[in-house]
Amino acid sequence: MGHSEYDPGGKDRRPWNAGRKIGAKRALKPQQVWAIRFWLDHERRLRDRAMFDLAIDSKLRGCDIVKMKIGDLVRGGQVRSRAIVVQQKTGRPVQFELLEPARNSILAWLERRGGTLDDFVFPSRIDHANDISTRQYARLVDEWVIGIGLRPEDYGTQSLRRTKASIIDKQSGNLRAVQILLGHTKIESTVRYLGVDIEDALHLSESTEI
């Protein structure tokens, strides 16, 4: 059941966040997205490639990614170009577009995976009737970023959610559009969520002459 902070044995326990970087995780850059795709293809990780592409395009939280069912993504034997999911955290629907790379990788995985429209897209290895856990999803993301030489302390499942939103924000500056895509109820949440990476701020500072 775990130790209380007042238990004698609790003093000897290592803090859960020891050695971990707490706070917002970095969004992936476009070249890092393609590097992970290349690495997953090279490792022949069909499921993980589909999961990664879905996470990038959908901009969904991990809890929503793992709960996706085949029927959410497939219609008439084809992967939808646009899908809609009700978010677990907010109970609000969010719509997203699946681009061709994602549609192709998801279709390749589903053809291999099989199943019915009511089955989970990414089933648990232990019990195929259940979905993969969010903890396992987080472990997989760690493996992906390590695979291309990034520090797992700097990236996580939220990095995948932030990636496309961050790119859209930088290219268009349209926070309202990003708010809708992320399913945020308030624009202030989107501003806080996107933030500004220290690395990006330093780059802007170094490239600005006065």
Which residue type does 159 have? S
How far does Cα 75 stand from its chain's mean position?
A: 23
Q: Are 67 and 129 in contact (CB under 8 A)?
A: no
Q: Specify the pTM.
A: 0.74
Q: Tens digit of pLDDT for each residue in 77-98?
A: 899 998 988 888 888 888 888 9
Q: Give the list of residues 6+ apart from residue 154 with CB closer than 8 angstroms, or none.
A: 21, 25, 26, 145
Q: Tens digit of pLDDT for each residue in 39-75?
A: 999 999 999 999 999 999 988 889 999 999 999 999 9
C-alpha dihedral (48, 52, 55, 56), degrees to nearest 10: -170
Domains of the chain with CATH codes = 30-206 (1.10.443.10)
Radius of gyration (Cα) for the chain, nearest Å?
19
Residues in the chain: 210
Residue of 63, 36, 61 lying closest to 50 (CA atoms): 36
Q: Are 187 and 179 in contact (CB under 8 A)?
A: yes
